[in-house]
Structure 1
Amino acid sequence: MSSSAEPGSAISGGGQGLDPSSAQSPRLSGPIAALIGVLAMAAALAVGQVIALFVGAGAAPVSAVGDAAIDAAPAWLKDFAVRAFGEADRVVLLLGMGVVLLLLAMLAGLISRQRPFPGATLVAAAGLVGIVAVLTRSELGQLAVLAPLGSLVGGVLVFRWLHRLAQARGYAADAAERALSRRVFLRASGGVALGAVAFGGIAQWLLGRGDVTGSRAELGRVVPDQPAPAIPPGADFVDAGTPPFITPNADFYRVDTAFVVPQVPAEQWRLRVHGMVDRELNLTFEDIRRRPLRERTITMSCVSNEVGGPYISTADFTGIPLADLLAEAGVRSGAEQLFSTSSDGYTAGTDLARLRDPADGAMLAIGMNGQPLPVEHGFPARMVAPGLYGYVSATKWVVDMELTTWAARTPYWLTRGWAREAPVKTQSRIDFPAESAQVPVGRVVASGLAWAMPRRITEVQVRVDDGPWLRAELGAEVSGHTWRMWRIPLRLGAGEHRLTCRAVDERGQPQTGELAPVTPDGATGWHTVQVTAS
C-alpha cells in the first residue's frame, strides 16, 4: 500500500491505514521534531529546578553545570571573561549555556524524526552531565543528585510522550482522526510549555530569593563598638573626576567563582576553626556579633584587574580581627596557611603571618558601610585582609577555616597556575580624562587614584607625551590600607596627547613601567590614556 502525506501536515512519510506495528514508522517534519526536543529540554530543566527547592539551590542542573564550567575553565579563559565582560561574565555564561542547550534540544528532535530513541538518548546524556556536575560539588549533600536525576527522567519521558503523540497523526485512518491527533499534540505541547515556564520560573524565583533577604533585613544596621576614623575632608576629588572615597555597596566591584550566589541565612551560619590549633572553635553568627566589633576602612583590589582597570573599591568593613580569633584558637607550631572554605566549596589559602599581626588589619567581616554584608559580597560573613589580592585572602560566605601546611592543602587558584602569595602591587590609574576623550585646548585637570596597600602612597607623577614627570596634588591620606586620590592641572596644545601616571610608595619605590599580565600574581605597568585637545 502506498502512502502520502496530507498537504500542510506536520507528518511526512506516514500513510493512512498504518499502525504502530508497521515496520516503517511515520516521519515527523523537521519543525515538529525540533519543537519536541526543545519542549523536552525545557521540561527537564523545570523538573530539576523544582527538585532543587528541596535539596539545595546548587543542585539545579543549570547551576551545577555552570559551577562546573567555571571550575574547569583554564586561567586564560577566566581572565578573558573578566576582561571582556566584567561582572556580566556570569550572564554571558548563562546565555552561552542557553544557546548550547537550545541547539542540543533541537538536534535531539531532528535525529528522532522517525524513532524517539536517538533523541531521548541525547536528552539523557545531557541529564548525565548534570548528575556528574552535582557529584563533583563537595558542598552539596547526597540528596542533591535527585535534582539532575529527576531532570533526566522528566526530559526523557516528556520527549517520548510528545514524540508518540506527534506520530499518532501518521497512524490515523482518516482526516477526522488526524485532526483529533493534531489537537491532542498541540494541547500537550502547550501544556508542557506552560508548565515548564510556570513551574521552572517560580522555582527559580524561590531559589534566588531564598530566606536570606529576610534574614539580612532582620539584622538592621551593623554598629561597631570601635568605629573607623572619619574620612577627612579632601580625601577625594569627585568634582575633578575621581570616584568617592567610600564606594557605595551597590557599586563595589564583584569578581568571584560563584555561578549562583550562595544563600546562607545568618541564623543557620556556622564557622569552624580547626586543624593545627590548640582549641577548635565552632561559632554562630550571634557569637560573632556579641563580640566587640571593630570598623576598618579598607581598599580591596582584584588580581584580575588590568592596568587601569575597574576592579578596586573601598568600604568601611565591620567585624572582628582575625588575629584575635587565631589567638583564641591557639596556632600550633608548623602551621603555615589559613585554608578557608566558602559555603559553595571555593577555597583560598592565606599566609598565616599576614593574618596574625594585628597591624595588618585582617578581619572576619559581617558588615559593610554600616549594613550587613550584601549577599553578593559574602553575607553573612567573609574574610577581608588588606594588602593581599582577594583570591588568597577574601573568602566570601566563609564557613570553615583550617590551619594547616601548604603541602597538606592546595587552594582553588593554586591548582590553576596562580601564585601562592599575592601582595598588592603599587598601581595608579587615570580616571579623568577617559581614554579617547575630547578635551579643550589649554588647562585640563587630570585626576585619578593610586594604591599600594598596606604601604602608603607618598607621590603620584604624571607626564604628557614624553615630557617630564610632574608631581600631582594628593588627596588627604586615610591610611596605608586604602587608596589615595590625586589631581593635577595640565596644559595641552591642540592635537592628540598621551597622558601617563605612576605612583611612589612610602619606601620611595616608584611603580614599575614593565608590562606584566594579571597571571600569576597581578598586572604591572603604567596606565596611559590617549586624548585629543581641540
Structure 2
Amino acid sequence: MSPQPRPSRFLGAGIGILSVAAAVAVGHLVAAFTGPGSSPFLAVGDTVIRFSPQFLTEFAKTTFGTADKPVLLGGMAVVILAAAVVAGLAGRRRVGRGVTVVVALGLLGLATVVTAPTFRALDLVAPLVSLVVGPAVFLGLHRLARRSSDVEPHGLSRRAALLGGMAAVAVVAVASGVGGLPAGSGLAESRARMTDRLARARLAERAPAIPAGADFAELGTPPFLTSNADFYRIDVALRVPELRAEDWSLRIHGMVDREVTLTVDDLLARPLVERTVTMTCVSNPIGGDLVSTATFTGIDLRDLLREVGVRPGAEQIFATSVDGWTAGTPTDVVMEPARGAMLALGMNGEALPPEHGYPVRMLVPGLYGFVSATKWLVDLELTTFDARRAYWLERGWAQRAPIKTQSRIDFPRGFQTVPPGRVRCAGIAWSQPVGVGGVEVRMDGGPWRPATLTTEVSGRTWRMWTVDFDLAPGSHTVQVRATDANGAVQTEQRTDPIPDGASGQPATIFTVG
C-alpha cells in the first residue's frame, strides 16, 4: 500500500493559519454575546498587560505612547500566525502533531480567560468554542487535502472542493471577526439619555466661569478647556468597556459603617457638583502633552464617604474598574474638605465618553491618575495599603503620587525657525491643587524674567503664560520654571516619570532668522 500523499508546505501552512484564524475569530464573535472579556484573543492581551514587568510596560509606553495597545495586539497576531504556520507544517507528516499545536493554543486562550480578575462562568463559552472549532477545521481541511491528491478523473473536482472549503473557512473567520467588533449595545442611546438628564439637573455647585483670555491659544498654547476628543487617554484597556448607565452599580464596602450599593439613579438623586480640573498622567515627560483640562459633573466623593462612615485605619480607597483594573487612593487626601474629589458622570457638557470612563469615573484633583482616576468604576473598598495592592503599586510605582509643579513651552516649538526681532514665548503651567503663583522664563541662560499669566480659574487648573524677548538671529534656548501658590519653585533636578512623576525645568532650542 503506497503512503498517503502529504499536502505541500504552502498548503499545510495555509491549513494551520485558517484553522487558528477560525478558532480566534469565532471565539471573538461568541464573546460579543457572552462578554468582551471572554474573547480568547483579548484575554491573552490582558494577561500580557497584567503580568508585564515594570520595565517592559514603561518601554512600551515610552516607545509607542498611546499606540502601545495596537502594537501589542499586532505583535500577538504575528506570534499566533507563526504558531499557526508551525501547526500546519507539523500536520503535514502527522495530522495529530498539528492538532496538538492548535489545541495548545486553545488551552492557552482558555487559561487566560479563566484566570482573569473579572472571570464569570459564562466566560467559559467563547474559549471552549474556540477550542472545538480550531481542531475541527484543521482535521476537516486535512481530510479534503488528502482527497484532493487522488488521481484523475476526480482530482480536479476534489481539489476544487479543498479550495472551496478553505475559502469558506476564510470567509467565516473574517465574518466572525467583524461580527465580534463592538456594536454599541445601546451605549449611544444610554449616553444620550445621560447627557439629557445632566442638562436638566440642578447643580448644587457650579464651576467658576472661564474668563475671557483664559488662554493664549492664538500664541500656540492649547485652549483652556480641552475638548473630549482631544483629552489625553492613558489606560490598560485593550477594548473600551461598554457599560450602559442602566446596568451600572457601585458597591462601597470594607472598613465602613454601612455598606451600600448605588445605581446611577441614586447618584443623580444626590446634589450634583460641577468642577473644572486639570488632569495629568504620571508618565508625562518634562514638557510632555499628557495633560488636559475639562469641566466634570458628578457628586462629591467626600460627602458620600462621610455618609457611609469611614472607619479609623482605612488608609486607602481601593477602586476597581469593570475590567478588573485597580487603583489605591489615599483616604486622607480624598477626605480633605477643599480637595474636590468626585465621582464624575459628565464631561464638558455631555455624558462621559466611553473611552473616558462612561458611565462613572473617579477623580481626585492633585493626584496622578494611576492612584486616583479609575474609569468604568464599579467597586470602592475602604482598606489598608498592606491588605490590598493596586495594579501599578505592584509594579513599583508610588503609593501616594501627588502631582508635581510643572510647566511647558508651547511656542516656539523645538528646532522651529521664527522671524527676527521680538519673539513672544508662550506655554502652560500647573500645580494642582494649590495652583500656580508665578512663572519665570529665561533666554540663553540669562536672568529669569517674570511671565504674564492668564487669570486663575482655580487652584485645580492650569494657567497659561507668555513673555517677549528681543533676539538676534541665530540659535537660542528658552527655559521655564513655575512657582506654586505657596511659593515653592519647580525644581531644576531632572527625574524620570516613574515612580512618582517627572521633575525638571523644560527647555527648548529654536532658531531666529
Paired residue secondary structure (2:327): strand
Structure 1: runs of 5 or more not aligned: 1-17
For 1:496 and 1:118, how far apart are their aligned partners in 2? 66
Paired residue secondary structure (1:361): coil
* Matched residue, 2:181: 204
Pairs within 5 Å for 1:4-15: none
For 1:30 and 1:465, how far apart are their aligned partners in 2? 65
* Matched residue, 1:338: 317
**Structure 2 residue aligned with 1:418, among 390, 397, 403?**
397
Q: Is the 8 A contact 1:56 1:140 kept in 2?
A: no
Paired residue secondary structure (1:435): coil
Pairs within 5 Å for 1:135-154: 135-154=114-133
Q: Is the 8 A contact 2:318 2:383 kept in 1?
A: yes
CA drift of 1:82 comes to: 2.1
Aligned residue type for 1:212: L
Partner deviation per Cα, 1:330-350 (whole Å, 9 max, x = no partner)? 111121111111111111111
For 1:103 and 1:438, how far apart are their aligned partners in 2? 48
**Structure 1 residue aligned with 2:375, among 396, 399, 403?**
396
For 2:456 and 2:114, how far apart are their aligned partners in 1? 50
* Matched residue, 1:512: 491
For 1:479 and 1:252, how far apart are their aligned partners in 2? 19
**Structure 2 residue aligned with 1:377, among 356, 370, 387?**
356
Paired residue secondary structure (2:455): coil
CA drift of 1:427 comes to: 0.5
CA drift of 1:176 comes to: 2.0
Paired residue secondary structure (1:274): strand
For 1:182 and 1:492, how far apart are their aligned partners in 2? 77
For 2:444 and 2:56, how far apart are their aligned partners in 1? 34
CA drift of 1:200 comes to: 2.2
For 2:38 and 2:168, how far apart are their aligned partners in 1? 25
Partner deviation per Cα, 1:240-272 (whole Å, 9 max, x = no partner)? 100000000000000011111111110110011
Aligned residue type for 1:210: S
CA drift of 1:125 comes to: 1.4
Partner deviation per Cα, 1:35-76 (whole Å, 9 max, x = no partner)? 111111110012201221232111111211111111122222
Pairs within 5 Å for 1:57-456: 57-170=36-149, 172=150, 174-206=151-183, 209-221=184-196, 222-223=198-199, 225=203, 226-456=205-435
Q: Is the 8 A contact 1:339 1:348 kept in 2?
A: yes
CA drift of 1:426 comes to: 0.7
Q: Is the 8 A contact 1:427 1:511 kept in 2?
A: yes
CA drift of 1:77 comes to: 2.1
CA RMSD of aligned residues (A): 1.4
For 1:498 and 1:67, how far apart are their aligned partners in 2? 43
**Identity, % of aligned pairs?**
51
Bigger CA drift: 507-516 or 235-244? 507-516
Q: Is the 8 A contact 1:425 1:452 kept in 2?
A: yes
CA drift of 1:281 comes to: 1.3
Partner deviation per Cα, 1:378-433 (whole Å, 9 max, x = no partner)? 00001000000000001111111111111111111111101101000011001111
* Matched residue, 1:10: none
Bigger CA drift: 391-400 or 465-474? 465-474
Partner deviation per Cα, 1:131-186 (whole Å, 9 max, x = no partner)? 1111121212122122112112211111111122112233x1x2222212210100
For 1:471 and 1:26, how far apart are their aligned partners in 2? 83
Partner deviation per Cα, 1:305-330 (whole Å, 9 max, x = no partner)? 11111111000011111110101101
Aligned residue type for 1:154: V
Aligned residue type for 1:179: L
Structure 2: runs of 5 or more not aligned: none
Q: Is the 8 A contact 2:285 2:496 kept in 1?
A: yes
Q: Is the 8 A contact 1:25 1:114 kept in 2?
A: no
Q: What is the number of residues matched between the two proteins?
A: 509
Q: Is the 8 A contact 2:32 2:182 kept in 1?
A: no
For 2:330 and 2:194, how far apart are their aligned partners in 1? 32
For 2:314 and 2:304, how far apart are their aligned partners in 1? 15
For 2:380 and 2:322, how far apart are their aligned partners in 1? 12
Q: Is the 8 A contact 2:439 2:451 kept in 1?
A: yes
The TM-score normalised by the length of structure 1 is 0.93
For 2:351 and 2:274, how far apart are their aligned partners in 1? 13
Paired residue secondary structure (2:229): helix
Bigger CA drift: 296-305 or 121-130? 121-130
CA drift of 1:188 comes to: 0.3
Paired residue secondary structure (2:370): helix
CA drift of 1:81 comes to: 2.1
CA drift of 1:111 comes to: 2.3
Q: Is the 8 A contact 1:337 1:404 kept in 2?
A: yes
Q: Is the 8 A contact 1:448 1:486 kept in 2?
A: yes
CA drift of 1:295 comes to: 0.1
Paired residue secondary structure (1:530): strand
Aligned residue type for 1:439: V
Paired residue secondary structure (2:403): coil
* Matched residue, 1:525: 504
**Structure 1 residue aligned with 2:465, among 482, 486, 489?**
486
